[in-house]
Amino acid sequence: MIERWRRVQRDFSLVLTGVQETVISIADHVNQHVQKVKLKLDTASLERKVQSDQVLLGQKIHAEPGLELSQIYEKDEIHTLLEDITMVEKQLEANEGIVSPHEALHDFERLLIRSDFVVQNVVIRHGYAGIGKTIKELSLPPQMMIFFIKKQEQIVLAYGKVSIAARDEVTFLCSKKDIPAYIAFWQ
Protein backbone atom coordinates (compact mmCIF):
# COMPACT_ATOMS: atom_id res chain seq x y z
CA MET A 1 0.00 0.00 0.00
CA ILE A 2 2.80 2.40 0.91
CA GLU A 3 4.62 1.57 -2.31
CA ARG A 4 1.49 2.26 -4.32
CA TRP A 5 1.05 5.60 -2.51
CA ARG A 6 4.66 6.56 -3.31
CA ARG A 7 4.11 5.65 -6.95
CA VAL A 8 0.95 7.80 -7.04
CA GLN A 9 2.87 10.68 -5.43
CA ARG A 10 5.69 10.34 -7.94
CA ASP A 11 3.29 10.20 -10.88
CA PHE A 12 1.38 13.20 -9.56
CA SER A 13 4.65 15.08 -9.12
CA LEU A 14 5.64 14.29 -12.71
CA VAL A 15 2.26 15.50 -13.97
CA LEU A 16 2.61 18.74 -12.01
CA THR A 17 6.11 19.26 -13.33
CA GLY A 18 4.87 18.73 -16.89
CA VAL A 19 1.99 21.17 -16.38
CA GLN A 20 4.36 23.72 -14.85
CA GLU A 21 6.79 23.43 -17.76
CA THR A 22 3.92 23.78 -20.24
CA VAL A 23 2.60 26.91 -18.51
CA ILE A 24 6.10 28.42 -18.46
CA SER A 25 6.56 27.60 -22.14
CA ILE A 26 3.22 29.19 -23.07
CA ALA A 27 3.97 32.28 -20.96
CA ASP A 28 7.38 32.61 -22.63
CA HIS A 29 5.80 32.30 -26.08
CA VAL A 30 3.17 34.93 -25.25
CA ASN A 31 5.84 37.27 -23.85
CA GLN A 32 7.94 36.90 -27.00
CA HIS A 33 4.92 37.65 -29.17
CA VAL A 34 4.06 40.72 -27.07
CA GLN A 35 7.65 41.98 -27.38
CA LYS A 36 7.57 41.55 -31.17
CA VAL A 37 4.26 43.42 -31.44
CA LYS A 38 5.55 46.19 -29.15
CA LEU A 39 8.70 46.54 -31.27
CA LYS A 40 6.62 46.72 -34.46
CA LEU A 41 4.35 49.38 -32.92
CA ASP A 42 7.34 51.40 -31.70
CA THR A 43 8.93 51.15 -35.15
CA ALA A 44 5.72 52.24 -36.88
CA SER A 45 5.41 55.21 -34.51
CA LEU A 46 9.00 56.26 -35.16
CA GLU A 47 8.51 55.95 -38.93
CA ARG A 48 5.41 58.19 -38.74
CA LYS A 49 7.41 60.74 -36.69
CA VAL A 50 10.20 60.82 -39.29
CA GLN A 51 7.67 61.28 -42.11
CA SER A 52 5.82 64.12 -40.36
CA ASP A 53 9.10 65.84 -39.42
CA GLN A 54 10.29 65.56 -43.03
CA VAL A 55 7.04 67.09 -44.29
CA LEU A 56 7.36 69.90 -41.74
CA LEU A 57 10.99 70.43 -42.73
CA GLY A 58 10.00 70.68 -46.39
CA GLN A 59 7.30 73.21 -45.54
CA LYS A 60 9.72 75.35 -43.53
CA ILE A 61 12.33 75.32 -46.29
CA HIS A 62 9.66 76.10 -48.90
CA ALA A 63 8.38 79.02 -46.77
CA GLU A 64 11.80 80.68 -47.10
CA PRO A 65 12.12 81.22 -50.88
CA GLY A 66 15.41 83.11 -50.81
CA LEU A 67 17.13 80.65 -48.42
CA GLU A 68 20.35 79.15 -49.76
CA LEU A 69 21.53 75.67 -48.84
CA SER A 70 24.41 77.00 -46.73
CA GLN A 71 21.95 79.06 -44.65
CA ILE A 72 19.66 76.14 -43.72
CA TYR A 73 21.61 75.22 -40.60
CA GLU A 74 21.55 78.81 -39.37
CA LYS A 75 17.77 78.68 -38.92
CA ASP A 76 17.07 77.30 -35.43
CA GLU A 77 13.75 75.66 -36.33
CA ILE A 78 15.19 73.89 -39.36
CA HIS A 79 18.35 72.86 -37.49
CA THR A 80 16.26 71.41 -34.62
CA LEU A 81 14.06 69.46 -37.05
CA LEU A 82 17.11 68.02 -38.82
CA GLU A 83 18.56 66.91 -35.46
CA ASP A 84 15.21 65.34 -34.45
CA ILE A 85 14.99 63.45 -37.74
CA THR A 86 18.56 62.17 -37.33
CA MET A 87 17.89 61.05 -33.75
CA VAL A 88 14.69 59.17 -34.68
CA GLU A 89 16.42 57.52 -37.65
CA LYS A 90 19.11 56.24 -35.27
CA GLN A 91 16.38 54.81 -33.02
CA LEU A 92 14.85 53.09 -36.05
CA GLU A 93 18.22 51.62 -37.00
CA ALA A 94 18.62 50.35 -33.43
CA ASN A 95 15.15 48.76 -33.53
CA GLU A 96 15.93 47.03 -36.81
CA GLY A 97 19.15 45.65 -35.34
CA ILE A 98 17.48 44.09 -32.29
CA VAL A 99 17.33 40.30 -32.31
CA SER A 100 15.43 38.67 -29.48
CA PRO A 101 17.05 35.72 -27.68
CA HIS A 102 14.17 33.56 -28.94
CA GLU A 103 14.87 34.51 -32.58
CA ALA A 104 18.60 33.93 -32.10
CA LEU A 105 17.92 30.47 -30.65
CA HIS A 106 15.60 29.56 -33.52
CA ASP A 107 18.17 30.78 -36.05
CA PHE A 108 20.78 28.62 -34.34
CA GLU A 109 18.42 25.60 -34.35
CA ARG A 110 17.68 26.06 -38.07
CA LEU A 111 21.40 26.31 -38.78
CA LEU A 112 22.05 23.12 -36.80
CA ILE A 113 19.35 21.21 -38.69
CA ARG A 114 21.06 22.04 -41.98
CA SER A 115 24.55 21.31 -40.63
CA ASP A 116 26.42 18.15 -39.77
CA PHE A 117 26.31 18.98 -36.05
CA VAL A 118 23.94 18.30 -33.17
CA VAL A 119 23.67 19.41 -29.54
CA GLN A 120 23.91 16.56 -27.02
CA ASN A 121 23.53 16.34 -23.26
CA VAL A 122 25.07 13.71 -20.93
CA VAL A 123 25.07 13.18 -17.18
CA ILE A 124 28.46 12.27 -15.75
CA ARG A 125 28.26 8.96 -13.89
CA HIS A 126 30.30 7.93 -10.88
CA GLY A 127 33.36 6.08 -12.11
CA TYR A 128 33.95 8.30 -15.17
CA ALA A 129 37.73 8.61 -15.66
CA GLY A 130 37.54 12.40 -16.16
CA ILE A 131 36.03 13.20 -12.75
CA GLY A 132 38.17 15.84 -11.03
CA LYS A 133 39.86 16.87 -14.28
CA THR A 134 39.39 20.25 -15.89
CA ILE A 135 38.00 20.58 -19.39
CA LYS A 136 41.47 21.58 -20.53
CA GLU A 137 42.89 18.30 -19.16
CA LEU A 138 40.33 16.16 -20.98
CA SER A 139 41.31 14.90 -24.40
CA LEU A 140 38.13 15.92 -26.16
CA PRO A 141 37.37 14.15 -29.43
CA PRO A 142 37.76 16.24 -32.58
CA GLN A 143 34.74 18.37 -33.50
CA MET A 144 33.35 18.39 -29.94
CA MET A 145 32.71 21.69 -28.22
CA ILE A 146 31.32 21.93 -24.69
CA PHE A 147 28.82 24.78 -24.25
CA PHE A 148 28.04 24.62 -20.56
CA ILE A 149 27.88 22.33 -17.55
CA LYS A 150 24.97 22.16 -15.14
CA LYS A 151 26.36 21.64 -11.65
CA GLN A 152 23.59 20.98 -9.12
CA GLU A 153 21.26 23.97 -9.69
CA GLN A 154 23.62 26.35 -11.53
CA ILE A 155 24.89 26.51 -15.06
CA VAL A 156 28.58 27.13 -15.63
CA LEU A 157 29.88 28.26 -19.02
CA ALA A 158 32.48 25.80 -20.21
CA TYR A 159 36.05 27.03 -20.20
CA GLY A 160 39.37 25.29 -19.62
CA LYS A 161 39.54 25.56 -15.81
CA VAL A 162 36.07 24.13 -15.06
CA SER A 163 36.40 20.69 -13.49
CA ILE A 164 34.12 17.73 -14.09
CA ALA A 165 32.25 16.13 -11.20
CA ALA A 166 29.88 13.19 -10.89
CA ARG A 167 26.24 14.06 -11.72
CA ASP A 168 27.26 17.12 -13.78
CA GLU A 169 25.17 17.57 -16.92
CA VAL A 170 27.43 18.41 -19.86
CA THR A 171 25.91 20.04 -22.96
CA PHE A 172 28.09 19.90 -26.04
CA LEU A 173 28.09 20.25 -29.83
CA CYS A 174 29.34 17.36 -31.93
CA SER A 175 29.17 15.88 -35.42
CA LYS A 176 25.98 13.88 -36.17
CA LYS A 177 27.79 10.95 -37.74
CA ASP A 178 29.84 10.11 -34.63
CA ILE A 179 27.25 10.60 -31.87
CA PRO A 180 27.79 7.12 -30.33
CA ALA A 181 31.54 7.74 -30.08
CA TYR A 182 30.97 11.12 -28.44
CA ILE A 183 28.49 9.68 -25.94
CA ALA A 184 30.93 6.85 -25.20
CA PHE A 185 33.61 9.45 -24.41
CA TRP A 186 31.62 10.47 -21.33
CA GLN A 187 31.14 6.93 -19.99
Residue-range domain boundaries for the chain: 2-104, 116-185
Residue 106 has pLDDT above 80, yes or no: no
Contact 150, 123 (CB under 8 A): no
- The mean pLDDT of 78-82, rounded to a whole number, is 81
Report the candidate in 108, 60, 110, 109 with the shortest Cα–Cα distance to residue 81. Answer: 60
- Is the model more confident about 133 or about 37? 133
pLDDT tens digit sequence for 49-69? 888 888 887 887 777 777 676
pLDDT tens digit sequence for 13-47? 766 676 777 777 787 777 777 888 887 888 888 88
Residue 100 has pLDDT above 70, yes or no: no
Highest mean pLDDT among 28-32, 33-37, 73-77, 182-186: 182-186
Cα(169)–Cα(149) distance, integer angstroms = 6
pLDDT grade for 5, boundaries at 50, 70 and 90? confident
Percent with pLDDT over 70 in the chain: 89
Contact 185, 141 (CB under 8 A): yes
- In DSSP notation, the chain reads -HHHHHHHHHHHHHHHHHHHHHHHHHHHHHHHHHHHHHHHHHHHHHHHHHHHHHHHHHHHHHT-TT--GGGGGGSHHHHHHHHHHHHHHHHHHHHHH---HHHHHHHHHHHHHHSSEEEEEEEPPTT-TTTT-BGGGS-PPTT-EEEEEEETTEEEE--TTPBP-TT-EEEEEEEGGGHHHHHHHT-
Give the up-direction half-sphere exposure of residue 106: CA atoms within 13 A in the CB hemisphere.
Answer: 7
**What's the topology of domain 116-185?**
Alpha-Beta Plaits (3.30.70)
- The mean pLDDT of 162-184, rounded to a whole number, is 87
